[in-house]
Amino acid sequence: MLDILEKLRSEAKKSPRRIIFPEGSDERVVAAARALLREKLLVPVLVRADALPGIECVRPGNDSEFDALTDAFYSANAKKYDSRDQAAEALNSPLFFAAMKLKTGSVDGFVGGASSSTADTVRALLRCVGLKKEAKILSSFFLMILNERNMLFADCAIIPAPTSEQLADIALQTARSYKTFIGDGAKVALLSFSTLGSATALSPAKVRRAWEILKSEKRDFEFIGEIQADAALVPEIAMKKTGGEWKGGANVLIFPDLNSGNIGYKLVERLAGASAIGPVLQGLDKPGNDLSRGCSEYDIINVALFTATQCGENN
């Protein structure tokens, strides 16, 4: 279970990254920051009003870069704010302030959401940092660790009702993330209640179309869709339902919508006892990630390690 986390720790120690935490007054964030600093895994930067011994702390109202950050933020978002003063007021938000620190290179990564909604956290990242030039969408995945098995579930946090084109993009992003965090050998299954046309309805047709989009170009990973979860995972069922076209063993599961993805990862976490780490965001121009508001110190440390790894990949 811990192999992948130990790998991330080892990589993080080689070149500790500066990671900013906008909710720096949250006790869980402070505890995580102290642990990360103590183990020399990264350099935490906390957004908070008061100082903490041994930890770098910043705040919008007393930051030497604030005017420059405001200028950059207003320049990029002039259509959304009537004046520079309005932009400066928005930048007083710890989420926006931290995201602009990331945008301008003052820090290498961002981990927020400990006491903020996903919508607010993602809005700050999109408005300040934006997407990679080649990215069409922002999506997310959860790393699910069950016994010796590492799997990625996507998208479980961002896009409520993805189109076929978006499902194909989610599959591509998540296959790349599998390679970044786990290694070669991604086996991607686009899930449905139908397997290769066994049912006719709008939802399976949407997934089938995503599969066709993926097939339109050569890929460096295996993929199948639309396919039922048991056929995606179990070789014997895969043989029976796909006639040998798929051999089972999927390690990347792409859910047809946010309902199924969010429900699915929580069922595996709570009923099967899997560890769920994430959501890890995919597609941002610079590494930023969201936490669940119910996160523990352990969760914050793990998401910070994923963010540090994304920093290396981004460079």
Interval 88-119: pLDDT, tens: 998 999 999 999 999 999 999 999 999 999 99
Residue 242 structure tokens: 């796909």
pLDDT of res. 128 = 93
What is the distance between the alpha carbons of residues 222 and 210, in angstroms, rounded to a whole number? 14
Helix axis angle, 202-215 to 164-181, nearest 10°? 60
Are 31 and 38 a contacting pair, CB within 8 Å?
Answer: no
Would residue 40 be called left, alpha or beta, if left means φ above 0 and alpha means ψ between -120 and 50 degrees?
A: left
At 131, phi and psi to the nearest 5? -90, 160
Q: Which helix (H) or strand (E) holds 236?
A: helix 235-242
pLDDT of res. 196 = 83
| Encoded amino acid at 116, one letter | S
Count the Cβ atoms, other than its own, within 10 Å of residue 158: 24
Would residue 273 be called left, alpha or beta, if left means φ above 0 and alpha means ψ between -120 and 50 degrees?
A: left
Residue 96 structure tokens: 């926006």
pLDDT of res. 315 = 58
Rounded to the nearest angstrom, the gap between the alpha carbon of residue 216 and the centroid of all alpha carbons in its chain is 26
Q: Which residues contact 288 (CB under 8 A, 6 or more apart)?
A: 99, 102, 109, 110, 111, 112, 125, 129, 281, 307
Digit-by-digit pLDDT tens for the chain (315 residues) are: 458 889 899 999 999 999 999 999 999 999 999 999 999 999 999 999 999 999 999 999 888 899 999 999 998 888 888 899 999 998 999 999 999 999 999 999 999 999 999 999 999 999 999 999 999 999 999 999 988 889 999 999 999 999 999 999 999 999 999 999 998 899 999 999 999 877 777 788 999 999 999 999 889 999 998 999 999 999 999 999 998 899 999 999 999 999 999 999 999 999 999 989 888 999 999 999 999 888 899 999 999 999 999 997 765
The structure tokens 């859910």 sit at 255
What is the distance between the alpha carbons of residues 112 and 287, in angstroms, rounded to a whole number? 11
Which residues share a beta bridge with 47?
A: 58
pLDDT of res. 314 = 65
- Model-level pTM? 0.89
Rounded to the nearest angstrom, the gap between the alpha carbon of residue 254 and the centroid of all alpha carbons in its chain is 14
What is the distance between the alpha carbons of residues 296 and 312, in angstroms, rounded to a whole number? 25
**Domains with residue ranges and CATH for the chain:** 1-130+284-315 (3.40.50.10950), 136-282 (3.40.50.10750)
Would residue 196 be called left, alpha or beta, if left means φ above 0 and alpha means ψ between -120 and 50 degrees?
A: left
Q: 301: closest CA among 39, 71, 25, 79?
A: 39
Q: Which residues contact 169 (CB under 8 A, 6 or more apart)?
A: 136, 137, 139
Task: Say whether 109 sits in a helix, a strand or coil.
Answer: strand
The structure tokens 């047709």 sit at 205
